[in-house]
Homo-oligomer: A and B are copies of this chain.
């Protein structure tokens, strides 16, 4: 990467997401203004309408769109002028320092993988998602959906990449890395998890990674661990289980708050104290997940992202560039040896 990477704009997929293009464009303009970050809006000028582009914002035309329900691999191969594909190309070609998309997650992954390429030695890129922990830094959960079937050696690389992200994004000096299982003992879990435990406990992730052993589902939202490593099937189930649980519990609380006139009045009094919790639980706060293991910064914001989520995603992308996330990962993931171990 060129030393002047930080001068380049962040490419924002203007057509990606349930609320695109309006909310996404609004967020991109807001990011340029508030964060003083140059932004490259990538989308179809015909659909974006008349835009008065302010300073720091430029436009890259892309006439096609990958829909939220399209098959990602097929769409990315067929639609060479899709906004998400052009975002990844902008990073590859040195026109942008990073990309942000709130569209089809699989399409963002496929675009980044096919256009930016994998980092040397990385077997499988992974999606890392920050999970809110009340009163602490978020937990990095990976893989949260890129790879359904994984091998123990792949999980070792997830540990390395998750470690790198936790140091970069949350400034944790020695992130505690745990392997998701169903008991703390090394003998707990599937055969794949047990083999991964043996590799990690044997130092396969390298001396920097502080492996604390198995962790359980209840630890994900606690401050017991900083990076939770798992396969993309389990990780995606965990992520969506948390989403459903937060929705059910918060929904129940809000219903109680509106159950009577007295409750409504009382709720007004406690609401300010609940604000930090509500903000933490709001998926817009963290600016989304990051695809780790590709040769560039790719931030994937959730599908229903509003303007604020896009601002935060641009902030995350920018931070990853200035804190050299890709170089950190490159330094962690050594070439894979014949034994399947790294280092």
Instruction: Quote the shortest CB–CB distance from A243 to chain B (angstroms).
Output: 5
Q: How large is the interface on A (under 10, 10 to 19, 20 to 34, 35 or more residues)?
A: 35 or more
Considering only residues 217-256 of chain A, those with a C-beta below 8 Å from chain B are 217-222, 232-234, 236-253, 255-256
Q: Are A266 and B270 in contact (CB under 8 A)?
A: yes
Question: Is A78 close to B, CB under 8 A?
Answer: no
- In the bound complex, residues from chain B placing their C-beta under 8 Å from that of A217 are 236-244
Q: Are B244 and A246 in contact (CB under 8 A)?
A: no
Complex Cα spacing A244 to B236, Å: 16
Q: Which of chain B's residues has its CB closest to A271's CB?
A: B256
Complex Cα spacing A240 to B219, Å: 8
Q: Are A182 and B233 in contact (CB under 8 A)?
A: yes
Q: Which of chain B's residues has its CB closest to A144's CB?
A: B182
Complex Cα spacing A147 to B168, Å: 38
Q: Are A256 and B273 in contact (CB under 8 A)?
A: yes
User: A277 contacts which of B133, B256, B265, B269 (Cβ < 8 Å)?
Assistant: B256
Instruction: Quote the shortest CB–CB distance from A266 to chain B (angstroms).
Output: 4
Question: Is A263 close to B, CB under 8 A?
Answer: yes
Best-buried of A182, A260, A263, A274 by chain B (most CB within 10 Å) = A182
Complex Cα spacing A237 to B189, Å: 10
Instruction: Quote the shortest CB–CB distance from A240 to chain B (angstroms).
Output: 3
Instruction: Quote the shortest CB–CB distance from A269 to chain B (angstroms).
Output: 4
Q: Which of chain B's residues has its CB closest to A280's CB?
A: B252
User: A266 contacts which of B134, B253, B267 (Cβ < 8 Å)?
Assistant: B267
Question: Is A339 close to B, CB under 8 A?
Answer: no
Q: Are A248 and B273 in contact (CB under 8 A)?
A: no
Complex Cα spacing A233 to B230, Å: 12
User: A233 contacts which of B234, B248, B265, B267 (Cβ < 8 Å)?
Assistant: B234
- In the bound complex, residues from chain B placing their C-beta under 8 Å from that of A250 are 249
Complex Cα spacing A219 to B244, Å: 6
Question: Is A145 close to B, CB under 8 A?
Answer: yes
Complex Cα spacing A145 to B277, Å: 31
Question: Is A148 close to B, CB under 8 A?
Answer: yes
Mark contacts of A173-186 with chain B using CB atoms, 8 A cut-off: 1 yes-contact digit, 0 otherwise: 00000001110000
Question: Is A22 close to B, CB under 8 A?
Answer: no
Complex Cα spacing A262 to B272, Å: 11
Question: Is A201 close to B, CB under 8 A?
Answer: no
Question: Is A4 close to B, CB under 8 A?
Answer: no
Instruction: Quote the shortest CB–CB distance from A207 to chain B (angstroms).
Output: 29
Mark contacts of A293-332 with chain B using CB atoms, 8 A cut-off: 1 yes-contact digit, 0 otherwise: 0000000000000000000000000000000000000000
Evaluate whether A248 and B270 lie within 8 angstroms (CB atoms) in the complex, with A182-B148, A189-B148, A237-B234 already known: no
Given contacts A148-B182, A253-B274, A262-B269, 6 further A-B contacts (CB under 8 A): A148-B190, A217-B237, A241-B241, A241-B245, A253-B253, A263-B270
- Would you give 6 A-B contacts (Cβ < 8 Å), ordered by A? A133-B248, A134-B255, A218-B240, A245-B245, A255-B277, A266-B270
Going nearest first, the 3 A-B pairs with the smallest beta carbon separation are A217-B240, A218-B244, A217-B241
Q: Which residues of A contact B (CB under 8 A)?
A: 133-134, 145, 148-149, 180-182, 189-191, 193, 216-222, 232-234, 236-253, 255-257, 259-260, 262-263, 265-270, 273-274, 277, 280-281
